[in-house]
Amino acid sequence: MASLIATLARSLFGPPPEVLCEQVTWTAGVAELRRRTHGRRESGAFLLGGKDRRRRIEEFVFYDDIDPHALDTGIVEIDGRRLGALWTHCRNTGREVVADVHVHPAGFGQSPSDKANPIMAEIGHIAIILPHFAGRATMPGGIGVYEYLGARRWRDRSRESPSPLHVGWWPWR
Ligand SMILES: [Zn+2]
């Protein structure tokens, strides 16, 4: 109830979220990311959905489903030659990549490699980082939320309140 009231108050008076995800989609996706880490390696996913006024996450497409070796070294590394499968899936579903998420063993700060190699080098793209193998904090406020500014520069929006990422019910598109 408290969160419903907070959402309503935000929808009326606060800055609208830039990226939305239904709670059930988020919870299931995060649980699957956690499972795929086996508690010892990073995992990650492209977050697909529709873009109208806001980006709406509707589906997690896991990196190791696109590139079976993406998690082999312990940090996420996707072979660009495998991305055709992702683009085909996007075409078939009418969805596009609206954000990405990956899991870190400890904190949610961006590594030098995260900064240098954006998954989508598109200005305004949002990259999310879940700390502690997605076993503790998994909601905005306790996770990393970074906006790509271009030229390998990022804006750390992790501690913004309200967060640009809203997980849960939202009254309108
Ligand atoms: Zn990382």
Task: Find the 130 Cα to ligand 1 centroid distance in Å.
Answer: 9
Indicate whether 110 belongs to any domain.
yes
Please state whether the peptide bond connecting residue 162 to the residue before it is cis, i.e. omega within 30 degrees of 0. yes
Rounded CA gap, 164 and 124, in Å? 11
Domain count for the chain, please give it: 1
pLDDT of residue 40: 94
Task: Find the 104 Cα to ligand 1 centroid distance in Å.
Answer: 6
CATH, residue 118 = 3.40.140.10
pLDDT of residue 5: 82
Task: Find the 10 Cα to ligand 1 centroid distance in Å.
Answer: 30
Q: Would you state the torsion angle of the CA atoms of residues 81, 89, 38, 73, taken in this order, to the nearest 10 degrees?
A: 10
- Residue whose C-alpha is closest to residue 42's, from 120, 110, 142: 110
Q: Write the pLDDT tens digit of every residue in 33-61.
A: 999 999 999 999 999 998 777 899 999 99
Task: Find the 14 Cα to ligand 1 centroid distance in Å.
Answer: 30
Indicate whether 172 belongs to any domain.
no
Indicate whether 96 belongs to any domain.
yes
Q: Which domain holds residue 36?
A: 2-167
Indicate whether 63 belongs to any domain.
yes
Indicate whether 88 belongs to any domain.
yes
Q: Write the pLDDT tens digit of every residue in 68-87.
A: 999 999 889 999 999 999 99
Indicate whether 152 belongs to any domain.
yes
Enumerate residues with CB within 5 Å of ligand 1 (an ion). 111, 114
Indicate whether 83 belongs to any domain.
yes
Indicate whether 137 belongs to any domain.
yes
pLDDT of residue 144: 98
N- to C-terminal Cα separation, the chain: 21
pLDDT at 4 over 90: no
